[in-house]
Structure 1
Amino acid sequence: MSDTDTDRELAELVPLAKDGDRRALQRIIQVVHPRVLRYARARIGGGKSPTAEDVAQEVCLAISTGIGKYVDKGKPFMAFVYGIAFNKVADAHRSMSRDHSNPTADVPDSVNDVDTPEQHALDQDGSNRARVLLDSLSEKAREILILRIYVGLTAEETAAIVSSTPGAVRVAQHRALASLRKTLERQGATD
């Protein structure tokens, strides 16, 4: 389903859900959850507590409990959803910064023959390096890259979420990518 189709479907479902239609609310959550989960994974990563799945559930709960108070301001409903997601991710980051415990990962139920320990370590290192690179950007630039590249939103959709214009989003994306490229080139020279 394209983003336009999703926006249209949500525009039809939201008024019904606001009026108490439980099926409409259930469908909204079905449509929204995968997108929110992808966004949370991009912002939080894996192996941390709270997990991206926890954050996605918190967002869905907030939508469920707050749908009655939602006011259409002319933006797509997903802009409202990503606004909630942004705040829940920020809450998760605050929670992680306060948690000084050192939990261990759960033991897997079965052995995964596909990923060797070496491959897992390389994958984890790549994720950590990407996160460090993204952390070198401003909050808004990081948010724009995540929404545009990882989540796959258009410049118009991203602009609605970050309260900007599509042109400014494209410029910020270009500058952020150029900054990351320069950082990688500097690191390549020192590695």
Structure 2
Amino acid sequence: MQAISSDATEIFARLKSAAFHELVVSSMAGERDAISTLFTWIQPAIYRYCRSRIGRSGSAYSSADDVAQEICVAVYGALSRYGDEPESFLPFVYGIAAHKVADHYRRAGRDRSDPAADVPDGVDTSASPEQQIMAADLRERLSDLLDTLPPRQREILRLRLIVGLSAQETATAVGLTPTAVRVTQHRALVKLRAALRPNEWI
């Protein structure tokens, strides 16, 4: 399985920091600079989530990115009404994101299980045609692997590995205990590992 990129690791670290919680508090108080920084920090996670749920439209993530924009607007609109602890802000954002993705599928009138496992943070202009083909093959293989999981396991993997929520935050978001989240994640990863071919282990 492909390791999480350094960019994603940096995103996750920011969203776990005390500075992020302070940003949430300041944003709730209506401070413009804090709100601007808050959205700069959460946008990459929102885009990663939407791209993993919706996938590509042809060769682009246009539909996923449109939904991500809708989510950002909805979070901004709801920010003044958010009255929970800063630690619960990311599950709050996830709740909005899940509803917006569901709305997208209702509008599109198609099946909701269309994940795209590889979620690039940007376009890699340095990749050769061969590398681009290999990356596309990897995306398709990872997508096929995720499709073998039950919906709950897929969603928990998205929240833990793509969005970067903690076990507690994921538990809040999906209505489970942190222990149940860890057990579900473990079972999902065991199933994915069992499905890997020998030449796919790295």
Instruction: Say whether the fold is shared (TM-score over 0.5).
Output: yes
The match for 2:35 is 25
The match for 2:165 is 153
**Which runs of structure 2 are paired with 1:37-56 in the superposition (5 Å)?**
37-46=47-56, 47=59, 50-56=62-68
Q: Which has the higher contact order (CA 8 A, sep 6+)?
A: 2
Superposition RMSD in Å? 2.8
What corresponds to 2:21 in structure 1? 8
Q: 1:132 to 1:94 in 2, by over 3 A?
A: farther
- 8 Å Cα contact 2:153/2:184 also seen in 1: yes
Aligned length: 171
- Unaligned ranges ≥5, structure 1: 99-111
Residues 64 and 184 of structure 1: CA distance in aligned 2, closer, same or farther (over 3 Å): same
| Offset, 1:75 | 5.5
Identical columns (%): 42
Aligned partner of 1:133 in structure 2 is: 145
CA distance in 1, matches of 2:139, 2:125: 21
> TM-score under structure 2 normalisation?
0.70
1:143 aligned residue: 155
Residue 50 of structure 1: CA displacement? Answer: 4.2
Q: Deviation string for 1:86-145 (max 9, x for gaps)?
A: 2222233444455xxxxxxxxxxxxx8733333222211211221122122122111111
Structure 2: gaps of 5 or more residues: 1-13, 111-123
Q: Is residue 2:199 matched to residue 1:184?
A: no
Q: Which residue of 1 aligns with 2:183?
A: 171
SS in 2 for 1:171: helix
In the TM superposition, what is the alpha-carbon distance from 1:68 to its structure 2 partner?
3.0
Match of 1:82 in 2: 94
CA deviation after TM superposition for structure 1 residue 48, in Å? 5.1
Name the TM-score, length of structure 1 as normaliser: 0.74
Deviation of 1:5 (Å)? 1.7
Q: Please identify the structure whose Cα radius of gyration is greater.
A: 1
**Cα deviation digits, residues 153-186 of structure 1 (max 9, x gap):** 3212221221211110110001111222233359
The CA distance in 1 between the partners of 2:140 and 2:73, in whole Å, is 29
